[in-house]
Amino acid sequence: MADIPLVFTVILVYFSQMQGSSAVTPVFVLKGDDVMLNLTEADDLENSAVFWNFTDKSSNEESVLVKWRPGTEPEVSPGYRGRIEFPVNRCCVNLKNLQETDSGVYTGHVMGAVGLISSTEYKVTVQDPVSPVKLTVDSVSNSSDSCNLTVTCSTQDSHISSTFTCDAKTCSQEGGERSEVTTSGASLRVYLVNDSITCNHSNQVSWTKNVTNIQDFCPCCAEKTESTEDAVYAVPEMEALAQPLDPTSDSSSPPSAIYSLLEPHTGPTRPTEETEIVYSTI
């Protein structure tokens, strides 16, 4: 089949502008990692042209990443040579070593002989790993049968203070779990689980936490055996679709990368709910 004529490229730009309000799939990527973007419809790709465009998040300027016409090799734009792979023929592109400047909307267009067949859009956000978090005990007030503990959960640009009250049977957090969205867009939380106070800092691709045992500061609570079954700790609302990860394992090192995985013909999978914060009785 002959090359797609220039008029189809004009049609492509027109439809790209027309579809600015269509559904966009959000994807979060750890800085320096790769992401695979799939076409949601891949019918008759052998006889169709495939175009991938990128709209910069900061400038809103659109550029062409790759053009793939029937019977030819893909034409990669100079700025993306060496950074794009095609692992499954025309169905998807793999973008490598993403940086903050790669955040924006990626649009895949499938063009046939009569014009646009389908478009697929992804809003990619590249994030740095979150900074370390620190849990500081500010004050302790002990009596023979109770204990009050005030702590501060802090990062390099945000902090939360909270007070905990314990007796020989139970501990409680004044006002319940405390949380806020930091200036960098991450989630900062401080909450109580059994005898431990957890300070957690997370975004969609990384997490870090610091834990303090109340029994180390409150002698009255050494024999306390509180159960937190059926307790549900809320996660603050954020613009992102994916929820922050908050594993409960003893490992202190965050995973190297956590981002939405895009399989052929499907949308991104949603990360599982935070396992340490939802308990149920069987």
Structure tokens at 159: 């902090």
CATH of the domain at 31: 2.60.40.10
pLDDT score, position 279: 38
Residues 134 and 212 in one domain: yes
| CA-derived radius of gyration, the chain | 25
Residues 142 and 275 in one domain: yes
CA distances, 123 to each of 6, 21, 117, 175, 239 (Å): 28, 12, 21, 36, 12
Domain final residue pick, 110, 127, 144: 127
CA distances, 67 to each of 15, 195, 270 (Å): 16, 58, 30
pLDDT score, position 153: 96
pLDDT tens string 142-164: 988 899 999 999 998 899 999 99
Q: How many domains in the chain?
A: 2
Higher pLDDT, 28 or 71: 28
Name the residue among 112, 116, 117 with its Cα closest to residue 14: 116
Domain final residue pick, 107, 127, 147: 127
Report, as an integer, the average pLDDT of 47-60: 88
Q: What is the mean pLDDT of the chain?
A: 76
pLDDT tens string 205-235: 999 999 999 989 988 765 554 444 333 333 4
Full residue range of the structural domain in which residue 101 is found: 6-127
Distance CA 256, CA 32 (A): 10
Residues 75 and 180 in one domain: no
pLDDT tens string 57-105: 888 889 999 998 888 888 999 989 899 998 877 788 999 999 999 999 9
Domain final residue pick, 81, 106, 127: 127
| pTM over the 0.85 mark | no
Residues 190 and 258 in one domain: yes
